[in-house]
Amino acid sequence: MKRSIDVLKEHSTGEPGAWKRQAQEELEAWDWKQYSYMIAIKARRQMGRLQMTQKQLAEAMGCTQQYVSLLLSGNLNMTLETIARLEKALQFTLLGELMDLEPQYPRLHPTSQYLSEGPAPGYGGDEPR
């Protein structure tokens, strides 16, 4: 007969407190993750309105479906380029509203063929390879 705490120690994985350290790091990442969650939730709402699947969103953004899944999980630290492509693909505004805060600056519109015809070369800076 043993105390239950002794059985736990006998079958311990080691690394005491490792969970605490990892959780601390994750909480520190909350500063940016909270935005990632909100963007993902807003994107999913808009996908619902447009009746758009993840596959269709991936095609519209010019990236893989796995990348879209990661984006919609709320755990992706997105670049501004990714957010802009998401806005364009889903025809809604996330950061686009920032432009309206400084009305003295006119919106810049791409005019080159390169910008209007799809992903730039090397696009996917935050996409896992």
Partner 1 sequence: MRFKDILGNEKLWATVYDGETEDVLTKTFSQWLDLNSLYDFFERNIADLTAYFHITDISQAVFETVSDAISMKAMLLEISPDAHLDRLFRPLENSRANEMILAREKAKGARQFGHASWLRIYALKSEPDTYLITGGAIKLTRTMGEREHTRKELLRMDQVRAFLLEQGAVDLEGFKDYLS
What's the CA gap between 84 and 82, in Å, rounded?
A: 5
Measure the CA–CA gap between 124 and 67, rounded to whole angstroms. Answer: 9
Q: How far is the CB of 48 from partner 1 (least distance, A)?
A: 8
Whole-number minimum distance, CB 106 to partner 1, in Å?
Answer: 35
Q: Which residues contact 47 (CB under 8 A, 6 or more apart)?
A: 53, 54, 57, 90
- Verify binding: residue 27, partner 1, rule CB under 8 A: yes
Asked whether 116 and 110 are in contact (CB, 8 A), the reply is yes
Phi, psi for 77 (deg, rounded to 5): -85, 95
Among 53, 73, 91, 93, binds partner 1 (CB under 8 A): 73
Q: Stretches 25-33, 85-93, 103-111, 119-127: which one binds partner 1 (CB under 8 A)?
A: 25-33
Q: Give the binding range for partner 1 (CB under 8 A) out of 9-17, 90-98, 100-108, 111-119.
A: 9-17
Chain residues binding partner 1 by CB under 8 A are 1-13, 15-20, 22-24, 26-27, 30, 37, 40-41, 44-45, 69, 72-75
